[in-house]
Structures are given as C-alpha cells and as structure tokens.
Structure 1
C-alpha cells in the first residue's frame, strides 16, 4: 500500500524582493492611454505604428512632414500624403472635439480660498485689522 503524500507548506522566500517584483511586473504591463478616442480605437494585436497609421496619426512628425530645402513643396510629396487611407477617422474627429472644448481657467489659489476671501471682503471690506485671514 502506498504512503500518503505529505503536504508541502508554502514558505516565505526571503531571498526575493517583493517590491522589485511588483515594479518589474508594472514595467512589463502595457501603459494606460489617457486619451479616450485613442484608447477606444487601440488594437492590442497591432504594433504602435500600424495603430497610429490606421487612426490617421503620425508616429514620427519628421517623416510625416519632412522639411525640404526648397521653399515650395513638391507635388509628389503632397500626393503621397493624400494617398494614405485612414481606417478610423472617428479618432481624429474625437480629438478635434476634445480640443475645441472650453477649458476651465484655473487661478493660482484654490476655490475654497477664493470663497473665503470673498466672504471676508463682503463682511469686513478693506478693514484688514478686524479679522486676519491667516
């Protein structure tokens, strides 16, 4: 009759730095794309250059708009740029919509401080000796 197998307990390995392991795994994972239109259209099966080309974006601006030594652009270059097919035009439209949104103007101080100063000016006016702000 065979012997019963002993269960091996999981022991902690003191030779491994868990912090380094976590950092290493974090580096290997794919980065999160902060731009919503690009993130939604991204295909993980394709390379970066192919993804951006499908969206109509350039991976290298120096190659997409080369600086020629002649002042006037050549006809061949403009025709080559127009021949490129954009498979995902909604990405460019989404980026343009995001760029056209009005941005909130931020001041150098927080909104709570603005409300506090407004309250103090309404109550006390220019008399700063009555109640000091800080």
Structure 2
C-alpha cells in the first residue's frame, strides 16, 4: 500500500516539476516526447489512485471491528455541543447580512472611482471579520467542553 502512495507522490512531484520547468523555459513548438511524457505521468497517477482506492477499500473491509464502545453522550453534553455551534451560526448570518450591502456599495463605488478599491476591501474585510469572531468563540467554548 505504501508503494502506491509513494508512486502517487512521485507522479505529483513530476507534474509539478514539469510545470515549473516549462514555466521557466517555455517551448516554441511542442515536441512528441513531451506529450508522451505528460500522458504517461498522468496515466500513472490515475492508475495508482484507482489501485489505492481498490486496495484501501479491501483493507478497510477486512479490518476487525472496533472493540471499544463509544462513550455515551448525555442530554447536557448534546445541548452544550449545540450551544458551541450557535455563536458561529449567528456570526455567519450577521456577516452575510453585513457583506451584502457593503459589497453592493463597493461595486458601485469601484465603477465610479477605481482608485478606492483597497479601501472598499478593508470595509468588506471588517464585515467578514464578524464570522471569524464567532468561529473563535466557538473554538474557545469547544476547548472548555473537553
């Protein structure tokens, strides 16, 4: 199984290296060996992906079941987890309400004065920051739960 992961990794590195090489030294005319190399590399990648998928499914299906029972979640713990998600939900709704008018106004202003593009991005970033604050609060509350 590890040899397939190594093959996929090498294939990806090959694709990336070829992309960087041809970005630095573009060809005026495509050569026949170039097309065959790219095709062989992509076919190797796709074949290794399919083999990894098939062998991985077989290995997972053959694995013994988990012997450890899952811990029971009480009603209080369930309500606490719902409470942890509420700040993110409300902050995301608030950010969506804020970004709508700010984005529309930004587009209108940019159409008239393109030089204020950076300033409008700051206002959009401030509106989006609301959602990030809600996510941070949820992460802090989740840390208190564990």
- Indicate the TM-score class for this superposition, using the shorter chain for normalisation: under 0.3
Greater length-normalized contact order (CA 8 Å, ≥ 6 residues apart): 2
